Amino acid sequence: MDTATFPRPGPAARDVAARQTDAVVTTHALTKTFGRGAAARTAVDRLDLVIPRGVVYGFLGPNGSGKSTTMKLLLGLLTPTSGSVRLFGSPLDRRHRGALMARIGSMIEQPPGYGHLTGAENMRLVQRMLGLQQAQVERALELVRLTEHRDRLVRTYSMGMKQRLGIAMALAREPELLILDEPTNGLDPAGIEEIRNLLMSLAGEGVTVLVSSHLLDEIDRMAGVLGILSAGRLVFQARAPS
C-alpha cells in the first residue's frame, strides 16, 4: 500500500496521541468477533483509534478489513466483543447512546434514499423523523448541490447523486461528527472531487468527518489524519503533512 505522502509513525503519531483529550472519537482495544468456535472470525482487532476534532479522518483499508464493522461499533449498531468506545468524551453505553447519536450523522454501506420517492420527499422523511427545521433540510440539499434535482425520483439519480443525497440526509441534523462509509464508491473523478471539497469545507467549519475508502487516492488528498486498517488491525495512524 502506498503511504508515501504520509510521514511514518513516530513524532506524528505521538502528536495524534497528544490530542486525545480533544478527541471526538477514541476507542480502546475495540474488538468484534463474528461467529463462534472454529467459525469465529475477528473483524475488528484491538483497535485504538483517536479522531481529533475538526479533521477529515481517512479510514483506509482493503475490502473485508473491518471498516464498516468499526463504523457500526462507533454508532452502537453492533456491540463490541471487547474493548470500548468514547464519543465526545462520554462512554458509548446504553445510558449515553441516544444523546450521543443526536450529535452524529452517518451513512453506512449503501446510500439510504428510497428510489420511489423524490430527493425532497426523502429529506422530508428525515426532517419528520428527527424533528428538524425546514431550513436545515434546505441547507443540507444546498451543500450537496441537489437543490435543483430535489423533485426527481431518486431511482433516476446517478450514483454520485444518490451518494450526495445520503450525505444530505446525514448532514441535515447539523452533526458534530459525520461518519461516511465509502461515499466515493462508484463515483467518477469529478464526483470524488466534489465530495472531497464538501468534506474538507465541513471540517473547516469544525465538523469532524470519518470517511472510509478502499482506495488511497480517493482519500489521501482530503484526509488530515489517515488510519490504515488491515485485517481488523490499525497498522498506521498519522497526521498528513499540511
Ligand X SMILES: Nc1ncnc2c1ncn2[C@@H]1O[C@H](COP(=O)(O)OP(=O)(O)O)[C@@H](O)[C@H]1O
Do the Cβ atoms of 228 and 61 come closer than 8 Å? yes
Q: How many residues does the chain have?
A: 242
- Report the candidate in 101, 177, 173, 166 with the shortest Cα–Cα distance to residue 137: 173
Which CB atom, from 65 or from 118, has the smaller least distance to ligand X? 65
Does 150 participate in binding ligand X (rule CB under 6 A)? no
Helix, strand, coil distribution of the chain in percent, nearest 5: 35, 25, 35
By the 8 A CB rule, do 154 and 119 touch? yes
In whole angstroms, how close is the CB of 194 to ligand X at the nearest point?
Answer: 23
Contact status: 215 vs ligand X (CB under 6 A) = no
Distance of closest approach, residue 225 Cβ to ligand X, in angstroms: 18
Helix or strand holding residue 42 (H, E): strand 41-47
Q: Which does 26 bind (CB under 5 to 8 A by kind): ligand X, Mg ion, none?
A: none
Q: Is 196 in the site for ligand X (CB under 6 A)?
A: no
Number of residues in contact with ligand X, rule: CB under 6 A? 11
Backbone angles phi, psi at 30, to 5 degrees: -65, 125
Where helices occur in the chain by DSSP H, the ranges are: 11-18, 67-74, 97-101, 119-130, 134-143, 159-171, 189-204, 216-219
Binds ligand X by CB under 6 A, chosen from 24, 27, 50, 65: 65
Single residue of 68, 118, 122, 208 touching Mg ion by CB under 5 A: 68
Q: 483497535: which residue's cell?
A: 47
CB of 189 to Mg ion, least distance (A): 22
- In the region spanning residues 67 to 96, those forming contacts with ligand X, defined by CB under 6 A, are 67-69
* Least distance in angstroms from the C-beta of 70 to ligand X: 7
- Return phi, psi of residue 172, to 5°: -55, -35
* Candidate ranges 18-26, 68-76, 124-132, 165-173; the one touching Mg ion (CB under 5 A): 68-76
Stretch that binds ligand X, among 63-71, 136-144, 185-193, 215-223 (CB under 6 A): 63-71
Would you tell me which residues interact with ligand X (CB under 6 A)? 34, 41, 43, 61, 63-69
